[in-house]
Structure 1
Amino acid sequence: MKTLFVAPTRNGVGLSSTALGLMRALERQGLKVAFLKPIAQTHEADTDDSVHFARVLAHAVTPEPIPLAVAEEQLSLGGSEELMENVIALAREASLTGPDGVATDVLIAEGLALNERNLYAGALNASLARNLEAETVLVSSLSEVTPGVLADELEIAAQSYRRSDGSGLAGYVLNFAPTELDFGSLMAELRARSRVLASGELPLLGVVSVSPGLAAPRTLDVARYLGAEVINEGEARLRRVTSTVVTARTVPKMASLFTPGALVVTPGDREDVVMAASLAHLSGVPLAGLMFTSGSAPEDSIERLCRAALSSNLPVLRVATNSFHTASNLSRMDPRVPHDDTERMDRMLEFIADRLDTVPLGTRLRTPQEGRERRLPPSAFRYELIQKARAANKRIVLPEGDEPRTVRAAIRCIEKGIARCVLLAKPDRVRQVAEGQGLSLPEGLEVLDPDSIRGRYVEPMVELRRHKGLTAPQAEAQLEDTVVLGTMMLALDEVDGLVSGAVHTTANTVRPALQLIKTAPGAQLVSSIFFMLMPEQVLVYGDAAINPNPNAQELADIALQSAESARAFGIPVRVAMLSYSTGESGSGEDVEKVKEATRLVRERHPDILVDGPLQYDAASVLNVGQQKAPNSPVAGRATVFIFPDLNTGNTTYKAVQRSAGVVAVGPMLQGLRKPVNDLSRGALVDDIVFTIALTAIQATQGRDA
Structure 2
Amino acid sequence: MTRSVYVTGIDRGDGRQVVELGVMELLTRQVDRVGVFRPLVHDRPDRMFELLRSRYRLSQDPATVYGMDYHEASALQAEQGTDELVSTLVDRFHLVARDYDVVLVLGTDFAATQLPDELSLNARLANEFGASVIPVVGGRAQTAGSVLAEVRNAYRAYDGLGCDVLAMVANRVDREDRDELARRLTDRLPVPTYVLPDEPALSAPTVAQISQALGARVLLGDDSGLARDALGFVFGGAMLPSFLPALTPGCLVVTPGDRADLVVGSLAAHSAGTPPIAGVLLTLNEVPSEEILTLAARLAPGTPVLSVAGNSFPTAEHLFSMEGKMTAATPRKAETALGLFEGYTDTADLARRVSAPTGDRITPMMFEHKLLEQARSDRRRVVLPEGTEERVLHAAEVLLRRGVCDLTLLGPQDRIRKQAADLGIDLGDTQLIDPATSELRDAFAEKYAQLRAHKGVTVELAHDVVSDVNYFGTLMVQEGLADGMVSGSVHSTAATIRPAFEIIRTRPDSSIVSSVFFMCLADKVLVYGDCAVNPDPDAEQLADIAVQSAATAAQFGVEPRIAMLSYSTGTSGSGADVEKVRAATELVRARRPDLKTEGPIQYDAAVEPSVAATKLPGSEVAGQASVLVFPDLNTGNNTYKAVQRSAGAIAVGPVLQGLRKPVNDLSRGALVQDIVTTVAITAIQAQNLSEKVSEL
**Shorter-chain TM-score tier:** 0.5 to 0.7
SS in 2 for 1:529: strand
The correspondence of residues 574-653 of structure 1 with structure 2, limited to 5 A, is 574-653=561-640
Q: Give the structure 2 partner of residue 424 of structure 1.
A: 410
CA deviation digits over 1:22-55, x for unaligned, max 9?
Answer: xxxxxxxxxxxx9999553238469xxxxxxxxx
Q: CA deviation at 1:341?
A: 9.4
The correspondence of residues 296-445 of structure 1 with structure 2, limited to 5 A, is 340=121, 374-436=360-422, 438-445=423-430
For the 8 Å contact 1:420–1:444, the answer to whether it is kept is no
Q: 1:658 aligns with which of 639, 645, 653?
A: 645
Q: CA deviation at 1:441?
A: 2.6
CA deviation digits over 1:180-219, x for unaligned, max 9?
Answer: xxxxxxxxxxxxxxxxxxxxxxxxxxxxxxxxxxxxxxxx
Partners of 2:85 and 2:533 lie apart in 1 by 73
Unpaired runs of at least 5, structure 1: 7-33, 47-66, 84-110, 122-220, 231-235, 243-336, 350-371
For residues 348 and 469 of structure 1, do their structure 2 counterparts lie closer, same or farther at Cα, with a shift above 3 Å needed? closer
CA deviation digits over 1:412-438, x for unaligned, max 9?
Answer: 1111111111111112212232244x3
Partners of 1:589 and 1:601 lie apart in 2 by 18
Partners of 2:128 and 2:495 lie apart in 1 by 69
Q: Which amino acid in the other structure matches residue 382 of structure 1?
A: E
Partners of 2:680 and 2:129 lie apart in 1 by 47
Partners of 2:82 and 2:457 lie apart in 1 by 89
Partners of 1:510 and 1:399 lie apart in 2 by 12
Q: Give the structure 1 partner of residue 507 of structure 2.
A: 520
Partners of 1:626 and 1:490 lie apart in 2 by 47
Q: Which amino acid in the other structure matches residue 634 of structure 1?
A: V
Q: 2:56 aligns with which of 80, 86, 104?
A: 80
CA deviation digits over 1:573-612, x for unaligned, max 9?
Answer: 1101111121122211111111111111111111111101
Partners of 2:629 and 2:31 lie apart in 1 by 41
Q: Which amino acid in the other structure matches residue 577 of structure 2?
A: D
Q: Which amino acid in the other structure matches residue 455 of structure 1?
A: D
Partners of 2:615 and 2:684 lie apart in 1 by 38
Q: 1:42 aligns with which of 35, 38, 55?
A: 38
SS in 2 for 1:392: coil
Residue 447 in 1 paired to residue 432 in 2? yes
Q: Give the structure 2 partner of residue 70 of structure 1.
A: 48
The correspondence of residues 93-492 of structure 1 with structure 2, limited to 5 A, is 116=63, 225=76, 227=78, 340=121, 374-436=360-422, 438-453=423-438, 454-492=441-479
For the 8 Å contact 2:654–2:664, the answer to whether it is kept is yes
For the 8 Å contact 2:385–2:411, the answer to whether it is kept is yes
Moved over 6 A (4+): 34-37, 236-242, 341-349
Q: CA deviation at 1:636?
A: 0.9
Q: 1:678 aligns with which of 642, 653, 665?
A: 665
For the 8 Å contact 2:652–2:674, the answer to whether it is kept is yes
For the 8 Å contact 2:38–2:65, the answer to whether it is kept is no
Partners of 1:414 and 1:68 lie apart in 2 by 29
For residues 463 and 660 of structure 1, do their structure 2 counterparts lie closer, same or farther at Cα, with a shift above 3 Å needed? same
For the 8 Å contact 2:32–2:361, the answer to whether it is kept is no
For residues 500 and 698 of structure 1, do their structure 2 counterparts lie closer, same or farther at Cα, with a shift above 3 Å needed? same
Unpaired runs of at least 5, structure 2: 5-29, 88-117, 131-357
Q: CA deviation at 1:380?
A: 2.3
For residues 395 and 237 of structure 1, do their structure 2 counterparts lie closer, same or farther at Cα, with a shift above 3 Å needed? closer
For the 8 Å contact 1:414–1:444, the answer to whether it is kept is no
Identity among equivalent pairs (%): 44
For the 8 Å contact 1:529–1:562, the answer to whether it is kept is yes
Q: Which amino acid in the other structure matches residue 433 of structure 1?
A: Q
SS in 2 for 1:439: coil
For the 8 Å contact 1:541–1:653, the answer to whether it is kept is yes
Partners of 2:606 and 2:32 lie apart in 1 by 36
Partners of 1:499 and 1:239 lie apart in 2 by 59
SS in 2 for 1:548: coil
For the 8 Å contact 1:39–1:68, the answer to whether it is kept is no
For the 8 Å contact 1:40–1:68, the answer to whether it is kept is no
Q: TM-score, length-normalised on structure 1?
A: 0.52
Using the TM superposition, name which of 402-411 and 522-531 deviates more.
Answer: 402-411
For the 8 Å contact 1:548–1:645, the answer to whether it is kept is yes
RMSD value, Cα: 3.7
SS in 1 for 2:414: helix
Partners of 1:450 and 1:411 lie apart in 2 by 22
Q: Give the structure 2 partner of residue 283 of structure 1.
A: none
Q: Which amino acid in the other structure matches residue 628 of structure 1?
A: K
SS in 2 for 1:41: strand
Q: Give the structure 2 partner of residue 503 of structure 1.
A: 490
Q: CA deviation at 1:562?
A: 0.3
For residues 227 and 499 of structure 1, do their structure 2 counterparts lie closer, same or farther at Cα, with a shift above 3 Å needed? same
For residues 583 and 116 of structure 1, do their structure 2 counterparts lie closer, same or farther at Cα, with a shift above 3 Å needed? same
Q: TM-score, length-normalised on structure 2?
A: 0.53
For the 8 Å contact 2:77–2:85, the answer to whether it is kept is no
Partners of 1:241 and 1:406 lie apart in 2 by 50
SS in 2 for 1:452: coil
For residues 624 and 473 of structure 1, do their structure 2 counterparts lie closer, same or farther at Cα, with a shift above 3 Å needed? same
Q: Which amino acid in the other structure matches residue 72 of structure 1?
A: E
Q: CA deviation at 1:568?
A: 1.2
Q: 1:667 aligns with which of 654, 670, 687?
A: 654
Query: Rg bigger for which structure?
Result: 1
For the 8 Å contact 1:410–1:445, the answer to whether it is kept is no
SS in 1 for 2:645: helix
